[in-house]
Amino acid sequence: MMDFFKKLTKSSFRRTSSQQIISGIDSSLNLLHVNLQDNIQEVKKKLGNSSDIILREFTLGSEEKFKVCILFTDGLTDTISVQNFIMDSLLPEIHLERGTTSPPHEIWLEKFKNQILAVSEIEEVADFNSLFNLLLSGDVILLVDGYSQGFAIGMRGWVERGVTESNNETVMRGPREGFSENLRTNTALLRRKIKDPNLWLESRKIGRVTQTNVAIMYIKGITDDHIVEEVRKRLDDIDIDSILESGYIEELIEDKTFTPFPTIYSSERPDVIAAEMLEGKVAILVDGTPVALVVPALFASFLQAAEDYYQRWDISTLLRILRYTSFLIALLGPSLYIAITTFHQEMLPTQLLVSLAAQREGVPFPAFIEALMMELTFEVVREGSLRMPKAIVSSLTIVGSLVMGTAAVEAGIVSAAMVIVVSITAIAGFVVPAFTLSTSIRMLRFPMMALAASFGLYGIIIGVIILVLHLCSLRSFGVPYMSPFAPFNLKGNKDTIMRVPLWALFSRPRIINKLNVVREQTNAPAPPKRNETEG
């Protein structure tokens, strides 16, 4: 069944149809024409005479006159730099030296590249594929009549959001900067954090239509070469029309798609991504999105926050224990309430049992239906608050949480205790730092409620066992997802549920890094380097 699904999702007709749709650009690897007008007509034809493509023709030279043309995309190119560094360099009359033995075209091409154009980034263009790619990326294209090659001049300058604080990963103490939608800005933020020549960057374009820039960043000598090679292979295997956000990349390169848990870590904070790379992981940045990906990902990473390393270790340990407790409450809170009130009333104190029975006396639904209605209502309110305009979000939240809850209790639809349980469960879900893991908890909460309504605490235990077995079976780029819990590694647990002092964190996670293990020199002897995984 799985093989059939894979064959269905990777069928050949999808690629064939996509290739036919964009055959006008991607399959035409034709070279530039010698005649300038032919090149101009070809560009206009392929781009449909788009009004945002600016085309400027003029004549240069006094004794040996010839025509040149510059093309750029309005909105993607810095027009002021075009005027200052290209137009002002080309428009003054250029005299060809007499008595030279070199052919005129070679002299002109060398003059353009090395003398006339006062720019730092310039490359030759010989085919239309490269021309369209660079033109639609914001570069300026210079074409010369009589020559079958041109120049691409780097003058990209579009309006961008800039570096601002991340709204999804706020901290009380620590840097306030977050990634932006500009890929080069994001790589520069990481360079500011890690000023080491071993921080290597590899670029590639993914997406036959969008040609999205994707960057791989890792620290040579710390990151395992096998992981880097696996990242390269999976990215190169992607064959799709468009990459509009890093979520596309995440879904296409993850190990196992049939799991509710995220197997690729993501963050909007440069300090978090830099810390992950210093542990031997690989960062993947996608142009057009402020969310960077990190592989391999471990389950413990999703319950860690950036602030854990900016304050005392004992405070960080307490907060981590609180997060793990909140994780269990968000996952099992309603299920435990349903199981105890339905099957195991003897576990409750007599006074509490009488109080709950009195509250549920007028409720016409069983506890499972009651919890299901409240959970679905809260999910609707949550999604509505995300989509509503910011000016009325607070009003909607107050109406959804207070007025509707109070009205439901007074109407006898739900009990007051169920409102308390659902509220605590919702708040506990917000304690989890990673939004992707919080979403997984929301998904798993409903089947756990169904098991509790069917079999009581036995159903919850069965569900937890299945969940643990599933987590232990997951891999992220070949690395066990639950490490260092399973396989258990005592030294690796120094930075999981508890965080030991920084002076004791002298080694990197060995399940990921097997080459450069020591990260801090202490007075104590450093642990020996090992080439095998400690289990």
**pLDDT (0 to 100) of residue 24:** 43
Per-range mean pLDDT, top range of 129-133, 246-250, 522-526: 246-250
Q: Give the Cα-Cα-Cα angle 465, 466, 470 (nearest 5 degrees).
A: 115
Between 51 and 105, the more confident residue is 51
Terminal alpha carbon distance of the chain? 34
**pLDDT (0 to 100) of residue 162:** 73
Give the lowest-confidence range in 6-15, 73-82, 340-349.
6-15
Binned at pLDDT 50, 70 and 90, residue 61 comes out as low
**pTM of the predicted model, to two decimals?**
0.81
**pLDDT (0 to 100) of residue 148:** 82
Binned at pLDDT 50, 70 and 90, residue 91 comes out as low
* Residue 140 near residue 82, CB atoms below 8 Å: yes
Distance CA 282, CA 383 (A): 32
**pLDDT (0 to 100) of residue 535:** 37
Q: Indicate if the pLDDT at residue 326 is higher than 50.
A: yes
**pLDDT (0 to 100) of residue 105:** 52
Query: Nearest Cα to 518, choosing from 504, 532, 499?
Result: 504
Long-range Cβ contact pairs of 491-498 (< 8 A, separation 24 or more): 491/527, 491/534, 492/534, 495/300, 495/304, 496/300, 496/320, 497/300, 497/317, 497/320, 497/321, 497/324, 498/317, 498/320, 498/321
Residue 510, burial from CB neighbour count under 10 angstroms (0-12, 13-18, 19+): buried
Mean pLDDT of the chain: 80
* Residue 285 near residue 242, CB atoms below 8 Å: no
Q: Indicate if the pLDDT at residue 385 is higher than 80.
A: no
Distance CA 132, CA 151 (A): 12
- What is the tens place of the pLDDT at every residue in 128-153? 888 888 888 888 888 888 888 888 88
**pLDDT (0 to 100) of residue 397:** 67
The average pLDDT across 295-307 equals 90
Distance CA 473, CA 530 (A): 25
Give the lowest-confidence range in 32-41, 117-126, 249-258, 494-503.
117-126
Per-range mean pLDDT, top range of 130-139, 219-228, 307-316, 446-455: 446-455
**pLDDT (0 to 100) of residue 170:** 82
Residue 219 CA: distances (Å) to CA of 2, 7, 296: 37, 37, 14
Q: Indicate if the pLDDT at residue 492 is higher than 50.
A: yes
Per-range mean pLDDT, top range of 23-37, 69-83, 367-381: 367-381
Coil, strand or helix: which one is 475? strand
Between 9 and 400, the more confident residue is 400
Long-range Cβ contact pairs of 390-398 (< 8 A, separation 24 or more): none
